[in-house]
């Protein structure tokens, strides 16, 4: 048997490869279902890493484990919240401690985000503090925004405000020095093809699912991400 080589000339092969390189590459199309799974994996990363480190510390420290155990428990609660969010196709989640007071949701989100207490200024209006929250997605929205401020904010101060007016609850996360790409991720109508900005995209997606909206405004204190949700 004779093994014959390709009879295409070297010149034609070179021309073909040149044309192939110039051919535009189709962008990766990601369905919203795929993006939500990616967002869940993205969101699970921080609490899983924290939980792993905290439990490792528990195994080494013994008697000094109580404060660490509390932090580990908070991270575990955050994981449970995310899994309930993933399993919910919409509406409220009736089991597992929901509904919860809005002020408790805000505090849990701050704790899960990893932001140091000294970096955060909290302003929850009394009328908003006791508003019942019946859906874990509210906590995921706020936690995502705060985690982003923690990871990419270079230690700059963060202000978290909550208010209620005319049937709407308003959550505002403000930080100076936030780049325009954060606004782009929050306003994107389609999920990103990679993980870049996926957590922020999921913020506006979940807010829409809850009948709300996400807007951005710049002021002297920096960029404010405003989440308006119906009080129902």
Mean pLDDT of the chain: 75
Give the model confidence (pLDDT) of 11-51 as tens digits.
544 454 455 445 454 454 556 666 666 666 666 666 666 77
Within a domain: residue 10?
A: no
Within a domain: residue 8?
A: no
Which residue reads 């279902």 in tokens? 33
Q: What's the domain count of the chain?
A: 1
Domain with residue 63: its CATH number is 3.30.565.10
Where would I find the H helices in the chain? Answer: 10-22, 32-61, 66-87, 102-113, 126-129, 137-152, 180-187, 198-209
Token pair, residue 11, equals 């010149």
Note the pTM of the prediction, 2 decimals.
0.62
Within a domain: residue 22?
A: no
Within a domain: residue 226?
A: yes
Kindly report the backbone phi and psi dihedral angles of residue 93, in degrees, each rounded to the nearest multiple of 5, phi listed first.
-110, 105
Q: Which domain holds residue 147?
A: 32-230
Dihedral sign of CA atoms 30, 35, 41, 45 in order: positive
């Amino acid at each position: 048997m004779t093994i014959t080589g390709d009879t295409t000339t070297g010149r034609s092969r070179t021309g073909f490869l040149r044309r192939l390189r110039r051919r535009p590459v189709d962008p990766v199309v990601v369905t919203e279902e795929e993006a939500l799974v990616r967002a869940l994996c993205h969101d699970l990363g921080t609490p899983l890493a924290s939980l792993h480190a905290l439990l490792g510390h528990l195994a080494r420290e013994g008697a000094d484990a109580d404060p660490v155990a509390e932090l580990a428990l908070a991270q575990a609660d955050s994981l449970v919240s995310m899994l309930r969010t993933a399993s919910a196709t919409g509406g409220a989640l009736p089991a597992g401690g929901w509904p919860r007071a809005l002020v408790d949701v805000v505090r849990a989100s701050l704790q899960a985000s990893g932001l140091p207490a000294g970096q955060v200024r909290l302003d929850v209006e009394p009328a908003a503090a006791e508003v019942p929250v019946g859906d874990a997605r509210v906590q995921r929205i706020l936690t995502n925004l705060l985690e982003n401020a923690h990871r990419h904010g270079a230690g700059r101060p963060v202000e978290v405000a909550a208010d209620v007016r005319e049937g709407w609850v308003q959550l505002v996360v403000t930080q100076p020095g936030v780049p325009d790409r954060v606004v782009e991720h929050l306003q994107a109508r389609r999920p990103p093809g990679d993980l870049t900005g996926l957590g922020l995209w999921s913020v506006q997606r979940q807010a829409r699912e809850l009948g709300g909206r996400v807007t951005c405004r710049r002021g002297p204190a920096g960029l404010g991400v405003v989440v308006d949700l119906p009080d129902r």
